[in-house]
Amino acid sequence: MTHYAKGLKALAAVTLGTAMIVSAAACGTTDADSSSDASSATIKSYDVSAINKDDAIAAILPASVTKDDTLTVGSDISYAPAEFLDADGKTVIGYDVDISKAVAAVLGLKEKTVPSSFDSIIPSVGSKYDIGMSAFTVTKERLKSVDFVSYFNAGSTYVVQKGNPKKIDSSDLCGDKFAVGTGTIQESAVGALSKQCTAAGKKPMQIQSFKAQSDATTAVATGKADVFYADSPVAGYAVKLTNGTLQTIGNDVDVAPEGIIIKKGDAATAQAVQKALQKLMDDGTYKKILGHWGVSSGAIEKAEINPAV
C-alpha cells in the first residue's frame, strides 16, 4: 500500500464533532465558483476531448518525449484540488491533471499521470517522467536543477482547528507544532523561521514533515499538530472538505508562480510546453479549467520559461 492510500484511510477514519474528514482531498481552494460544489464527490475532470493537436507546436518536441505517444507526468497526488484520487480510489483528477491533459492534447499525445512522492519528482524528470506537475513553486534553488514553465500563482496559508482553540498567532509562531509536506517550499520556510525563533531566544517550532499533504492535514484535525502550512489552494480546499473542522488564519504570504518542471537544459520540451500552455491561455481553455475547479484567482496571462523570482 502506498503512503497515499494510507493517507486516504486516515482521513476517512477521523471524525471531529459533526465533521468527517473524507478522501485524499484534504487540501484546497478558497474561491470555488458558484456553479459547482467544490467537493471531490461532485467535481469531475474537465473534458479536453475537443482540444485539437497543433502540428507546429507538436513538431518542437524531441523524440525522447514523442516516442511512446504519451506525455508522462510525475505528480504527488495528495494535493487536492491540484491532483488527488477520485472517489473510486484509482482515477487521478484535479486542475493540474486537467491542464496537463490539455497540454498533451495540443501536443497530440496521450497523458499519463504517475503517482510519486513530492521529493522524488525533480530528480526523476527527464528520465522517469517527461514533466513534473505538482504545485511546484518556482524558486531560485529549484531553478538550479530543473527548468520551469509557469502556469499558476499561489501563496502559502496557515490552517488550524476551527475556532483556533490553541490561539495560534500567525505573527508569532515560535514554539508551535507545525505539519508540513516533505520537500515543499513551506517546509523550508518553517525551518528558517524556527531558526529565527531560536536566535531571538524563543522556543523553536516543532516541525512534523509528511510525505502526503493529506497526512499533514489530518495531524492538525486530530490535534497532533497545531497548524499546517501549505499552498493557498490546498489549504482552502482542506477547510472546505472538513466541513467546519478547520479554518485558515492570517493572510496568504509569499505569493509566487508555480510551474511545470522540465529537465534542466531540455529547451525543446520547455518551448513546446510553454507554447501549448500559451495557446490554451489565449483560447480560453485554461481559464475554463481553473474555473471548473474554483481556482480562477490563481490564473496568469502569460506562460513563461524560467520566470524571474
For 71-102, how does the pLDDT look when each residue is reduced to its tens digit (9 = 90+)? Answer: 999 999 988 899 999 999 999 999 999 999 99
Domains and CATH numbers, the chain: 156-252 (3.40.190.10)
What are the residue ranges of helices labelled H in 107-231? Answer: 118-124, 140-143, 185-199, 213-221
Q: Which three cell numbers stand for residue 111?
A: 497523458
What are the residue ranges of helices labelled H in the chain? Answer: 3-13, 55-58, 63-66, 95-106, 118-124, 140-143, 185-199, 213-221, 232-241, 267-282, 285-293
Q: How many CB atoms lie within 10 A of CB 186?
A: 27
For 193-240, how does the pLDDT look when each residue is reduced to its tens digit (9 = 90+)? Answer: 999 999 999 999 999 999 988 899 999 999 999 999 998 888 887 887
Q: How far apart are CA 96 and CA 75, in angstroms?
A: 9
Q: What share of the chain is helix, strand, coil (3-state, %, to 5)?
A: 35, 25, 40
Cis omega before residue 81 (within 30°)? yes
For 138-167, how does the pLDDT look when each residue is reduced to its tens digit (9 = 90+)? Answer: 999 999 999 999 999 998 999 999 999 999
Q: Any bridge partners for residue 16, and if so which? A: 19
Phi and psi angles of residue 161, each rounded to the nearest 5 degrees, phi first? -65, 150
pLDDT exceeds cutoff 60 at 111: yes
pTM: 0.71
